[in-house]
Structures are given as structure tokens and as C-alpha cells.
């Protein structure tokens, strides 16, 4: 099929920056321009001839600009099929010009929503005419070229300049696909806004920003990140971030947000914390976190919620690690940390804002609320005769925060400001506890006076029995087993303290 030459172009855009070169190119090629409203005025001020849509339709812009282009003489010119004689006859009968090019963008709905505007202003930024023009032109891509975003201005300018304002069918189809991507994303944003408080039971997500990964979880798998990583992080140094890096960064950010009022440091491997601590300085917090597992820390993902100074950097630099995330870095700290060229250094610019999470499963998707409940002293219900003392309560809360972000089944052993060990991802809670005890002892920790956290209830008293023998005297768990009393009775018989939170923190 030969290229289609543009004779008539309908142009109606909200964003006019970088539009002038394209308009002049069309004019110089003899293309007749049609426009309306602010775009028409913009074209006229450039000294270019333009026919108003109002003169074409015989109707002015009405209802405060809500209705401008919704007319058969406009949509007939876009939807008319050149290969059908009947369409051509009707267009001739009703004096409808044939449009080969439609350039339209949309009112900035998402930007207006993000600005905190009032409801009525947001509603007025729901584009009707523009979205209709885009869909019509994209549907009839066999005859019409549709450009639907200012991000395409440079691309279409170069294309039309190279081909003397003509396009191929494949080129028009590609722009049509992009147009439906834009229109569907726009509609999804509007739906998500209007569905707040309505909660229609449907799943809709649209994320246009994307970044191809080198590969997915493994080299034989393709991987793409959909989202705006740069909005949340600024990469100061290091190699390209991988799929697995992103997964670990996500886990690290979720964990560190549990400690908003303390100086905290965490080391993660495969999304689980192998070290976590709080202290008076980043250096001290790092050293305590590193103590918990000096082996797994190798090649880990590190995160802190405070500025990294030179003193901390000197210690951290002794470890081989993949990534360090922090809210800021001192310049002399960066000099030290940048000694390894592949080491990824990230400044976290904002906290997590998402309230939902989802993943593909079987032939569909499951969605749930993020686990936004952080256990605190007000949630604790003492179930034993002995109440935990102040230090024990602090340790129990600390352990529970880490437990929440560790793969189930999990047991976490800790003191008031340091992870001592954890049993991770075990099919048996007893196995998770035994793993944690063995690991703590391997790295030289004495568990006398330590506390234990579990992500779910104990169906039998075996875990508290094993914990007691290891030196643990206080336990935190959600409770909820029909046999809770068995564990409580064992604790009472051996002067252990146990608290229930009433909140389970499974993580699969």
C-alpha cells in the first residue's frame, strides 16, 4: 500500500510547547490546518493560515468550551473510509473534508489530581472531545495518522520531514497503538479517582513508564520494571539496577519504614533481613546489624534511614555489598563509597505511598491491602502471669517489626535494638526456631534474656519449650490458636512472659 499524503490536519492541543516547528513543516508542505480555541489562536499568532472548526461545523464552541469538536463534519472527516465509494459520496454530499492527520493531546487530568485541586476542577479536566478524536483517528489508522501526546512531537516532525508529510500504513498503526495506550491509561486514571469510596470490584492498573531490565529473576527470563524509579530514588553511583536488585530494594524500604523515630540500619539478602539494628549513629547501627550474620551480609542490600557520614562510610566500605540506600550522603562519605565502581548508591527521595499490592497467579491476579499495621505497645495483650518489663517490651516490638518483613514461617530472636538471628521460610515453625537458635549461637550470641517473635500463632507449646531451653524469657505472637492455652500454661509454669498482638504477619 502506497504512503498516504497529508492534505488536511486537525490540530487541537493543550500543550503547545515545541509545536511550532511541526506546524511550519505542515504549512510548508501545503497542508491545510484546522483548529479551534487556544490552538487556533496560537497558530494564527505564528502567522500561519488556519480554518476554524466553528466555521467548518457552523456551530460555535458552547457550554464553556465543553463542546467544540463533537460534530459529524469533524468526525466524518476522521472516520471516512477512502476505499468505500459510499463513504466518499456522503462526505462529498455533506461537504466534509477528509483529515489525514489528527494531532490532539488531553487535558492534564493526572497532573490536576496530583496538585490537590478541588473535585470540580478535577472533573473539568476529564477530556471528552480530545479522547473522542484520538479514538476515532486511531480506529481509522488505515487512512489517518494520530499523534496523541506532546512526547511524540519530535518523532513525528522527523518522520514527516523525511517523507515529505506522508506516512506508511505500518507507521500509522504504530501511532494508533500508542494512542489507545494513552487513552486507556487516561480512562484508568479517571476510573481510579471516581472509584474511591465506591470500590467497584474490578482490577485496573495502567503504568506507562517502563524500563527494560538486563533480564528477569534469571538470565533466561525477560524482565521489565513498570514505574517511575527516578521519582523515588536518585542513583549516585554504580551499575545498572537489576530485576533482583529492585525486589531487594523494595523489601529493604518496607522494612526500614518500621523505624521512623530511630537511627536504623538493615542488611538484606533475598528480601530477608540478615541484620538489623538501631543505635545512636549510623556507624553503630551498621556494626550491630553486621554482627548478626557476617557471612550473609556479603553481597547484600544495605539501607539506613539517616544520613551516611564519613565515619559510617569507612566501616561500611570494608564490606562487599551490592546496594546502599540512604536519605543522604556526606560528600566525604561518597568519596569512600565510590571506590568500588559497580557499587550502587541510592538516595531515597520519598517514602512508599502505595496502599495496595498485587501479583499474577494462575490465570489471574490477586490484590490485597499492604500490611500497614506496625505492632506497638498499645496492641499488646499480656496473656501470662509474668508481665514483660520495659526493656522486654521494647525488644518484643523490635523483633516483631523484623518478623513482619521476613518470609514465613519465621521466628525472630532479638534484644531491644538488635536482630540476633532469624529462621526464615521454613515449612515448620519449630524448624524456623531451631534454625534461628543455631544461627545465633554460630555467630557468638548468648540468648539468655533475648526475646522471640513469631509471625503466626503456636499450635503447640513445643516452640516456647525450645525457646526457654535456649535462654529466651519473653515471647510475642499474634495468638488465635484453639490451643493457645497450652503455650500460655507452659510459660506460666516457667516464669516466661508472653504477649499477643491479635495481628498475624504472614509473608509468602
Q: Cα–Cα distance between 422 and 435 in angstroms, integer?
A: 7
Question: What is the C-alpha separation between 410 and 195, in angstroms, rounded?
Answer: 37
Number of Cβ atoms within 10 Å of the Cβ of 361: 8
Residue 451 contacts residue 476 (beta carbons within 8 Å): yes
Around 139, how many Cα atoms within 13 Å sit in the side-chain half-sphere? 13
What is the per-residue burial (b if ≥16 Cβ within 10 Å, else e) of 187-206? eebbeeeeeeeeeeeeeeee
Largest CA distance in the chain: 97
Question: What is the end-to-end Cα distance of the chain in Å, rounded?
Answer: 54
Instruction: For residues 301 and 290, give the distance between their C-alpha atoms in angstroms, rounded to a whole number.
Output: 12
CA 210 – CA 193 distance, rounded (Å): 22
C-alpha closest to that of 207 among 228, 187, 177: 228
Provide the grid cell at 136: 476515532
Which residues are marked as active site? 139, 270
**Closest C-alpha to 133, from 109, 106, 151:** 106
- How far apart (Å, rounded) are the C-alpha atoms in residues 78 and 47? 26
- What nine digits make up the cell of 237? 553511583
Which stretch of DSSP H or E encloses residue 41? helix 37-45
- Give CA–CA dist 272/242, Å, rounded: 18
CA–CA gap between residue 377 and residue 366 (Å, rounded): 32
Q: How far apart are CA 464 and CA 471, in angstroms?
A: 11
**Cis peptide bond prior to 226, omega within 30° of 0:** no
Residue 57: C-alpha distances to residues 7, 68, 75, 295, 346 (Å) = 19, 9, 11, 75, 56
Sheet holding 8-12, edge to edge: 51-52, 32-35, 8-12, 101-104, 145-147
Nearest one of 470, 477, 481, 483 to 498, comparing CA atoms: 477
Amino acid at each position: 500500500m502506497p504512503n498516504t499524503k497529508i492534505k488536511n490536519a486537525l490540530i487541537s492541543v493543550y500543550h503547545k510547547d515545541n509545536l511550532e516547528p511541526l506546524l511550519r513543516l505542515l504549512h510548508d508542505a501545503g497542508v491545510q490546518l484546522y483548529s479551534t480555541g487556544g490552538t487556533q489562536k496560537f497558530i494564527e499568532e505564528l502567522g500561519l493560515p488556519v480554518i476554524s472548526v466553528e466555521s467548518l461545523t457552523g456551530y460555535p464552541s458552547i457550554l464553556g468550551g465543553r463542546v467544540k469538536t463533537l460534530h459529524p463534519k469533524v468526525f466524518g472527516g476522521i472516520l471516512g473510509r477512502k476505499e468505500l465509494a459510499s463513504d466518499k459520496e456522503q462526505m462529498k454530499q455533506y461537504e466534509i473534508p477528509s483529515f489525514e492527520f489528527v494531532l490532539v493531546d488531553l487535558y492534564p487530568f493526572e497532573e490536576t489530581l496530583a496538585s490537590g485541586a478541588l473535585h470540580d476542577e478535577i472533573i473539568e479536566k476529564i477530556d471528552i472531545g480530545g479522547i473522542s478524536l484520538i479514538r476515532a483517528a486511531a480506529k481509522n489508522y488505515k487512512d489517518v495518522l494520530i499523534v496523541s501526546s506532546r512526547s511524540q512531537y519530535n518523532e513525528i516532525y522527523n518522520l514527516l520531514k523525511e517523507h515529505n508529510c506522508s506516512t506508511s500504513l505500518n507507521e500509522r498503526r504504530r501511532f494508533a497503538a500508542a494512542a489507545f495506550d494513552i487513552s486507556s491509561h487516561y480512562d484508568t486514571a479517571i476510573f481510579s479517582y471516581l472509584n474511591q469510596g465506591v470500590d467497584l470490584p474490578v482490577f485496573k492498573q495502567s503504568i506507562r513508564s517502563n524500563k527494560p531490565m538486563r533480564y528477569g529473576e534469571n538470565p533466561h527470563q525477560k524482565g521489565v520494571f513498570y514505574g517511575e524509579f527516578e521519582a523515588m530514588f536518585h542513583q549516585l553511583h554504580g551499575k545498572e539496577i537489576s530485576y533482583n536488585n529492585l525486589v531487594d530494594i523494595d523489601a529493604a524500604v518496607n522494612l526500614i519504614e518500621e523505624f521512623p523515630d530511630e537511627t536504623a540500619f538493615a542488611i538484606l539478602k533475598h528480601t530477608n533481613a540478615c541484620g538489623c539494628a538501631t543505635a545512636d549513629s549510623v556507624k553503630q547501627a551498621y556494626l550491630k546489624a553486621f554482627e548478626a550474620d557476617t557471612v550473609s551480609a556479603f553481597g547484600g542490600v544495605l539501607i539506613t534511614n539517616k544520613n551516611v557520614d564519613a565515619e559510617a562510610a569507612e566501616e561500611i566500605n570494608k564490606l562487599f555489598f551490592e546496594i546502599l540506600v540512604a536519605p543522604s550522603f556526606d560528600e566525604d562519605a561518597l568519596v569512600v563509597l565510590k571506590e568500588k565502581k559497580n557499587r550502587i548508591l541510592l538516595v531515597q527521595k520519598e517514602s512508599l505511598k502505595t496502599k495496595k499490592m498485587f501479583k499474577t497467579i494462575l490465570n489471574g491476579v490477586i490484590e490485597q491491602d499492604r500490611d500497614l499495621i506496625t505492632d506497638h505497645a498499645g496492641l499488646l495483650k499480656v496473656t501470662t502471669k509474668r508481665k514483660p518489663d520495659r526493656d522486654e517490651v521494647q525488644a518484643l516490638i523490635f523483633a516483631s517489626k523484623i518478623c513482619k518483613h521476613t518470609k514465613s514461617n519465621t521466628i525472630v530472636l532479638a534484644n531491644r535494638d538488635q536482630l540476633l538471628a532469624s529462621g526464615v521460610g521454613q515449612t515448620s515453625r519449630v524448624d524456623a526456631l531451631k534454625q534461628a537458635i543455631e544461627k545465633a549461637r554460630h555467630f557468638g550470641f548468648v540468648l539468655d534474656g533475648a526475646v522471640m517473635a513469631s509471625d503466626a500463632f503456636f499450635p503447640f507449646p513445643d516452640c516456647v519449650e525450645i525457646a526457654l531451653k535456649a535462654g529466651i524469657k519473653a515471647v510475642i505472637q499474634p495468638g488465635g490458636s484453639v490451643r493457645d492455652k497450652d503455650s500460655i500454661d507452659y510459660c506460666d509454669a516457667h516464669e516466661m512472659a508472653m504477649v499477643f498482638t491479635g495481628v498475624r504477619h504472614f509473608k509468602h
